[in-house]
Amino acid sequence: MIRKAQIGDVKDIQKLLTHFASRGDMLSRSLSELYESIRDFYVAVEGESLLGTAALHIVWDDLAEVRSVAVAEESGHKGIGSRLVQACIAEAREIGLKRLFCLTYKPDFFAKHGFRLVDKSELPHKVWGDCIKCVKFPDCDENAMILDL
């Protein structure tokens, strides 16, 4: 089941994100950041288990980021990540956003959802606020992608 995240999900979300961040696949998120942005998050759950997460983070009046997309490895290749991204896209349309972007090491996954590769310079400077926290800054090797809604 895909649903909006709840306060009780935060520690499990952090555990999942930290697993992938420790491999350099994404940014880690502190508990404080997660509690402050809990309304951005969707989760995939089965019973008491959190299987995956994704967030829609609004950046400006016409732009949001799909971020923190992660699915537990034992739950991979079941369409969970796709359903989480589709939930973010649906919400973006519902609230009137014009564009979504992502920074990713998995461009083929996001291309299946209509995102297209762009040069990072096409993204507004406001987007780069989290980059300073990344161990790879300023030598980012992620792919920038945009989805026009």
Mean pLDDT, range 101-120, rounded to an integer: 94
Check whether 26 has a pLDDT greater than 70: yes
Question: How sure is the predictor about 81, in pLDDT bands with cuts at 50, 70 and 90?
Answer: very high
Domain 2-148: top CATH class = alpha beta
As a whole number of angstroms, the distance between CA 55 and CA 39 comes to: 8
Question: What amino acid occupies position 72?
Answer: A
pTM of structure: 0.90
pLDDT the model gives residue 142: 83
Q: Classify the phi-psi angles of 70: left when phi > 0, otherwise alpha if psi is within -120 to 50, otherwise beta.
A: beta
Helices (H), 37-149: 80-94, 107-111
Q: What tens digit of pLDDT does each residue of 27-77 get?
A: 889 999 999 999 999 999 999 999 999 999 999 899 999 999 999 999 988
Cα–Cα dist 77/56, whole Å: 22
Domain boundaries, the chain: 2-148
Q: Where are the beta strands (DSSP E) in the chain?
A: 2-4, 41-46, 49-60, 63-71, 99-104, 116-118, 143-148
Alpha carbon distance 101, 43 (integer Å):
19
Can you spell out the DSSP letters for 3-17?
EE--GGGHHHHHHHH
Written as six digits, the tokens of 31 are 């508990």
